[in-house]
Structure 1
Amino acid sequence: MRIEADRGRCDGLGMCEAMAPDFFEVGDDGTVVVLDEQPGEEHRADVTAAVDACPVLALKLT
């Protein structure tokens, strides 16, 4: 699994960071920073919840 972020679409609302702070944070520029682009399968539920929580659809899993 790989996390992809469209930083141009991100509004910096921080839903991803709130749901999975080990994998996402809102950077100094106000957009998402992916802390671990390839998390292990054991983290799929948390990462999927964070991706699904993004109100502007700036995140996806591949």
Structure 2
Amino acid sequence: MPTSIIIIDQARCEGYGFCAEAAPVLLELDDDGILHTRKDVDGDDELERAEAAVRVCPVAALRIGAGV
């Protein structure tokens, strides 16, 4: 399976952190409320977590894209 990435639209992100709670291995909210990816999505389990993170974002600031 090819690696996927989580793409964050920083202009839309309001720092709620629901996504980081859904996928803490993949996403982190820093002390300033800015969301960062921790790593690329690797494997089915992480893909499920990434999809959950996308679903729980109340402002639709996340999507999953193809990695390199």
Asked if these proteins are the same fold (TM beyond 0.5), I'd say: yes
- Structure 2 stretches lacking a partner, 5+ long: none
Root-mean-square deviation (Å): 1.1
**Aligned pairs (5 A) from 1:1-62:** 1-36=4-39, 38-42=40-44, 43-62=46-65
- Structure 1 stretches lacking a partner, 5+ long: none
For normalisation by structure 2, the TM-score amounts to 0.80
Q: For 1:61 and 1:14, how far apart are their aligned partners in 2? A: 17
For normalisation by structure 1, the TM-score amounts to 0.86
Show structure 1 runs of 4+ deviating over 3 A.
none
Aligned residues with identical type, % of pairs: 34
Q: For 1:24 and 1:3, how far apart are their aligned partners in 2? A: 9
Considering only CA atoms, is the larger Rg found in Structure 1 or Structure 2? 2
Task: Find the residue that maps to 1:4 and give its secondary structure.
Answer: strand
What is the Cα deviation at residue 12 of structure 1? 0.3
Task: Find the residue that maps to 2:10 and give its secondary structure.
Answer: coil
Q: May I ask how many residue pairs the two structures share in their alignment?
A: 61
Q: Residue 9 of structure 1 aligns to which amino acid in structure 2?
A: R
Q: For 1:28 and 1:35, how far apart are their aligned partners in 2? A: 15
